[in-house]
Amino acid sequence: MVYDILIVGAGPGGLTAGMYGSRAKLSTAIIEKGKAGGQAATTTEMENYPGFFRETTGPGVMGEFEAHAKQFGTVFLKGNVTEVSLEGEVKSVTTSAGETYQARAIILAPGAEPRTIGVPGEGKLRGKGVSYCATCDADFFEELDVVVIGSGDAAIEEAMYLTKFVESVTIVVIHDEGILDCNKRSAQKAFENSKFKWVWNSTVEEIQGDEMVEGVLVKNIRTGEKRVLEVNGVFVFIGAQPKTDFLKGKITLDEWGYIPTSEKMETNIAGVYAVGDARAKYLRQVVTAAADGAIAACAAEKFLEGHVEGRLTREDIENLTKGAK
Amino acid sequence: MIELNKENFEAEVLQAEGLVFVDFWSEKCEPCMALMPEVIAFAEKNAGKAKFCKLDTAGNKRLAISQKVMGIPTLVFYKNGEKVHTFDAGMIDSGGIAAVQKKLDELV
Ligand SMILES: Cc1cc2nc3c(=O)[nH]c(=O)nc-3n(C[C@H](O)[C@H](O)[C@H](O)COP(=O)(O)OP(=O)(O)OC[C@H]3O[C@@H](n4cnc5c(N)ncnc54)[C@H](O)[C@@H]3O)c2cc1C
């Protein structure tokens, strides 16, 4: 069959697009490689989705998003999309298992994944002390010392969570003493927490250890001085990168791999939309992913009715990518 | 799938002949929970090709660490009690269960 709308990714962006599409009586399917919910389902601490503040968790809210889409009839397909064919009236996506699905409009909602630091030892020691998920792995580090790399909102929040388990958390910050990338409220809480130690003006050069993490080599970027911190764990929270590798060469991406779109979530290809964290935009949160999803589904509906061209022009893209820098 | 713990790990995995597959997981780990239905389907589909087991790392933390597992989800193949291949969370995310299937087909 040819769906009206096919959505790639069942995070908050994709699930909302699914709900809106189905509710508009368009045949709508979402294809997801893992479980519905995306990144938002990997964190228990989610306190800023409006209306959900009493004992809510990421998986809890995402479960409701999924149920909501299902209730209006969204079809859930399973598969890792590795190939896309986006030009023309009928578009298709193909999974790693070789299954192909067709639709007249596509909404790309593949989200993002944790950015790696790219230093020696990081890849080799993943799952052996190097982690990108505090809720997954905190237990292993009970009464041990760990390092957290990064100082943004996610880094400080996850570091707070780690203090419930570990002996000490050393935060390696690239900035001058006292400067964090997170909001002031979190920064204040962090400075008051006695389990935190701080290493300022520094970057991690190497993660050391044969079979398990034994230490990290940090370098003071002011003095050039290097030293080893002896720790058993390294938690990396330095932001995200869009999961758009499978779209390279098929659709316009900016230099970081994000998908530029118009205000209507249109990409450079007619009938192909992008929403959520994978899109070039200012704020990457559940509430903005959901908003993107609603807009894309409505724009796709208009496109399917044949009223609009439904794509960005080259000029639009130039303006947008300029704006992003 | 066989539930592993401190009592049976030695016999079911380290002393076992042939191929053994172990899923290291825990309930708090959302990616592990997301993966679990796929792992169960994978085990059912390949019944007979290997022994399929899972280990809840909550309550078996030391055991997991003794197997050099300090992050989950992690999927490990053992052959005649020796570790022969490990999939960490990153590899699972990028290759999916298809990559694990490929490895199994190589190992049997
Ligand atoms: C630890 C952590 C804590 C956070 N806390 C908060 C918070 O408190 N409040 C808040 O508002 N936001 C929070 N965020 C951010 C929020 O989770 C994201 O902004 C949001 O999930 C983005 O939604 P999305 O739909 O764009 O993508 P994602 O949530 O990333 O979902 C994308 C989905 O697409 C699937 N996918 C990707 N590629 C493919 C493919 N090729 N084939 C098939 N499926 C594919 C993925 O498996 C995934 O399920 C947090 C993020 C993290 C990592």
Q: How far, in Å, CA of A92 to CA of A272, rounded?
A: 11
Mean pLDDT value across residues A297-316: 86
pLDDT > 90? residue B64: yes
| Alpha-carbon torsion, ordered B29, B35, B41, B45, to 10 deg | -110
B29 is a catalytic site residue: yes
Q: What is the ipTM of this complex?
A: 0.92
- A48 CB under 6 A from ligand 1? yes
d(CA A221, CA A216): 15
On whether any CB of chain A is under 8 Å from the CB of B96, the answer is: yes
The kind and range of the H/E element at A41 are none
Beta partners for A226? Answer: A219
> What are the start-end ranges of the H helices in chain A?
12-23, 58-71, 134-137, 153-163, 184-192, 286-304, 314-324
Interface touch A127/B70, C-beta < 8 Å: yes
Quick check: B45 contacting A, CB < 8 Å?
no
Sign of CA dihedral A30, A36, A39, A41: positive
Is the pLDDT at B104 greater than 80? The verdict is yes
Rounded average pLDDT over A110-136 = 95
Q: Which residues of B touch A33 (CB under 8 A)?
A: 96
Chain B interface, best mutation among A35, A82, A158, by max B CB count within 10 A: A35
pLDDT at A231 over 50: yes
Handedness of CA A156, A9, A258, A94 (dihedral sign): positive
Q: Is any atom of ligand 1 closer than 6 Å to the C-beta of A43?
A: yes
Give per-residue pLDDT as tens, A26-80: 999 999 988 899 989 877 778 889 998 888 888 899 999 999 999 999 999 988 8
Radius of gyration of chain A (CA): 21
Calculate the CA A77 to chain-centre distance: 21
- Flag whether pLDDT at A325 surpasses 60: no
Distance from CA of B29 to the nearest CA of A (A): 4
- The predicted model scores a pTM of 0.81
| Residues A302/A308, Cβ–Cβ less than 8 Å | yes
